[in-house]
Amino acid sequence: MRFTSEQRLDDGVLEREFTLGEIPGILWTPASASASAPAPLILVGHPGGLHKMRPRLAARARRSGADGFAAATIELPGGGDRPRFAVAEQARADLRRALEAGEPVDEEIVDRLVLPLVEKAVPEWQTTLDALLSLPEIGGPVGYSGGVIAIGVRLAVVEPRISAAVLFAGSFVPRTLFEEARQVTIPLHVLLQWDDEGNDRQSALDLFDAFGSKEKTLHANMGGHTGVPEFAGDAAARFFTRHLS
Amino acid sequence: MRFTSEQRLDDGVLEREFTLGEIPGILWTPASASASAPAPLILVGHPGGLHKMRPRLAARARRSGADGFAAATIELPGGGDRPRFAVAEQARADLRRALEAGEPVDEEIVDRLVLPLVEKAVPEWQTTLDALLSLPEIGGPVGYSGGVIAIGVRLAVVEPRISAAVLFAGSFVPRTLFEEARQVTIPLHVLLQWDDEGNDRQSALDLFDAFGSKEKTLHANMGGHTGVPEFAGDAAARFFTRHLS
């Protein structure tokens, strides 16, 4: 992990860009974090395109910083300036064609779109987690926050260092995800934008139902995909404070 | 409104039993409430049987008191020691028979069970509201919290003094309620116990979808009908603090 830039924001949060091999990322640590008081960590997921997503990710990270958490994000495989991801590009083109034609989206397209991404992204998150947890100012416990929901679910299943997750419903859900969801046991807080135009609401409700976690909460709110109300962000932050502090 | 008992609880909340005509009720006011600083009011709904429900209602009221709110509840028509409500009794017997026989519950039974109760309970709540708001230590705004959800919905439609509501999904929903739900415009916070054995989850989701309110939030949690987790109660309290303070 190589830090490539560093700036102290006005709220005291230290924002550092880094690269991990070829993967670019950003780490935010609260002013309070130190070797003697390492901060718990939230991994901030997103749908890819770090540069475009950055203002929203930074806002989430600074909110976490105010609560005493470090936050980190990395670019998705094929996202932003990373090399195109051929199989996903093809699936995305097929998806666009189906949506424009007003056809139902074939499950096989969703599988091709999401599953290779999960296969590639999850080990990258784990490598990133190794590197982050080796920093003296960062400790456990670790949470995952965001979409792509299939990545969050897989991480919750395979990565024992993640102890709670805020999952954003709103991306296509491959069939196998329901099976994986049953294996999730960590506390979950699921955000669903009720009128999200790009989201299959029923599929999100079915997925929530499938999770094996004893503590799982669904917060459904009005507004489109990016319209999560501020109070819903506050509620998600409180979920992490309950489980990671 | 005639007060029949009065005690100061250890958290400073003043608990007073009252009767309003033949209707018994309980009023809780925070220590901070006075004529010069009247407290906002939360009407606390329940499924009937004030005596049995009292510990849970008092806990909710005292939580509201800690947030600076007064809280009040009254017995439901036909509930507790109030005269039996013949039509609802008959419907309840028919419902029990259908449930014991494992039959689907006929919509006509639900109508007979819920609608007369709504017709009778809503004006009683309004008379109670008149009396409560005439007390110098109680002011607006007013919220409604609880079930029976059909009573909460009707109140939200017909009573302009109610400016926000926490509604508990989990009772039978008459068909006409969906029409009424579309007329509701106040901010709503809907609690759904996902695995509530006595609740039709799909019907609760459909009702949430039907509400006309621009701000409506659904919080679904695990556990049975009475198993609302403490953090869900906290979230409902924060909803009222946002809207009634």
DSSP state string for A94-151 = HHHHHHHTTPPPPHHHHHHHHHHHHHHHHHHHHHHHHHHHTSTTEEEEEEEEES-HHH
Residue B102 has pLDDT above 90, yes or no: no
Of B194, B217, B238, Cβ closest to residue A221: B217
- pLDDT tens readout for residues B121-168: 999 999 999 999 999 999 989 999 998 999 999 999 999 999 999 999
Q: How confident is the model at residue A140 (pLDDT cuts 50, 70, 90)?
A: confident
Given an 8 Å threshold on Cβ–Cβ distance, is A235 in contact with B235? yes
Residues from chain B that touch A220, judged by Cβ atoms under 8 A, are: 208, 217-218, 220
Residue-level pLDDT at B173: 86
Using a CB–CB cutoff of 8 Å, tell me whether A195 touches chain B. Answer: no
Domain A2-244 CATH superfamily: Alpha/Beta hydrolase fold, catalytic domain (3.40.50.1820)
Residues from chain A that touch B216, judged by Cβ atoms under 8 A, are: 221-222
Residue B197 has pLDDT above 80, yes or no: no
Residue-level pLDDT at A35: 95
Please provide the average confidence, as pLDDT, over all residues in chain B: 94
Q: Cα separations (Å) of B107 from B77, B116, B154, B186?
A: 21, 14, 19, 28
Residue-level pLDDT at A147: 85
Closest-CA residue of chain A to B219 = A219
CA A241 remoteness from chain centre:
17
Q: Cα separations (Å) of B23 from B71, B77, B80, B129, B172?
A: 16, 8, 10, 13, 24
- Return the amino acid letter for B110: V
Q: Mind telling me how many Å the CA of A171 is from chain B's nearest CA?
A: 20
Q: Cα separations (Å) of B211 from A119, A155, B207, B216, B217?
A: 40, 36, 7, 8, 10
SS (H, E, C) A208-232: HHHCCCCCEEEEEECCCCCCCCHHH
> Do A52 and A76 contact (CB within 8 A), yes or no?
no
Q: How confident is the model at residue A136 (pLDDT cuts 50, 70, 90)?
A: very high
Please provide the average confidence, as pLDDT, over all residues in chain A: 94
User: A235 Cβ partners below 8 Å, 6+ apart?
Assistant: A189, A219, B235, B238
> 């135009």: which residue's tokens?
A197
Percentage of chain A modeled with pLDDT above 70: 100
Q: How confident is the model at residue B67 (pLDDT cuts 50, 70, 90)?
A: very high
> Do A128 and A24 contact (CB within 8 A), yes or no?
no
User: Does the domain made of B2-82+118-244 have the CATH classification 3.40.50.1820?
Assistant: yes
CA distance B15 to B55: 13
Residue-level pLDDT at A37: 95
Q: Mind telling me how many Å the CA of B56 is from chain A's nearest CA?
A: 22
Q: Looking at A31-35, A41-45, B171-175, which range is the least confident one?
A: B171-175
Given an 8 Å threshold on Cβ–Cβ distance, is A231 in contact with B216? no
- pLDDT tens readout for residues A163-215: 999 999 977 889 999 999 999 999 999 999 998 877 789 999 999 999 999 99
Q: Cα separations (Å) of B49 from B37, B45, B87, B132, B237?
A: 32, 11, 17, 21, 24
> Do A79 and A49 contact (CB within 8 A), yes or no?
yes
Residue-level pLDDT at A23: 97
Using a CB–CB cutoff of 8 Å, tell me whether A235 touches chain B. Answer: yes
Closest-CA residue of chain B to A236 = B235
- pLDDT tens readout for residues A148-161: 999 999 999 999 99
Q: Cα separations (Å) of B24 from A93, A118, B128?
A: 66, 60, 10
The mean pLDDT of B25-53, rounded to a whole number, is 96
Of A222, A235, A238, Cβ closest to residue B214: A222
* 3-state DSSP percent of chain A in helix, strand and coil, to 5: 40, 25, 35
Tokens of B29: 């006011």
Q: 3-class DSSP state for residue A77?
A: coil
Q: Where are the beta strands (DSSP E) in chain B?
A: 2-8, 14-20, 23-29, 39-44, 70-74, 138-146, 162-168, 188-193, 216-221
User: Where exactly are the structural domains of chain B?
Assistant: 2-82+118-244
User: CA angle at residue B58 from B52 to B64, to 5 degrees?
Assistant: 150
Residue A236 has pLDDT above 90, yes or no: yes
Of A216, A221, A222, Cβ closest to residue B222: A216
Residues from chain B that touch A214, judged by Cβ atoms under 8 A, are: 222
B117-142 CB burial, b ≥16 within 10 A, e <16 = bbebbbebbeebbebbeebebbbebb
Residue B227 has pLDDT above 90, yes or no: no
- Return the amino acid letter for B86: A
Closest-CA residue of chain A to B188 = A221
User: Which of A65, A49, A52 is CA-nearest to residue A9?
Assistant: A65
Residue-level pLDDT at A127: 98
Helix A149-158 vs helix A107-133: angle between axes, to the nearest 10 degrees? Answer: 50
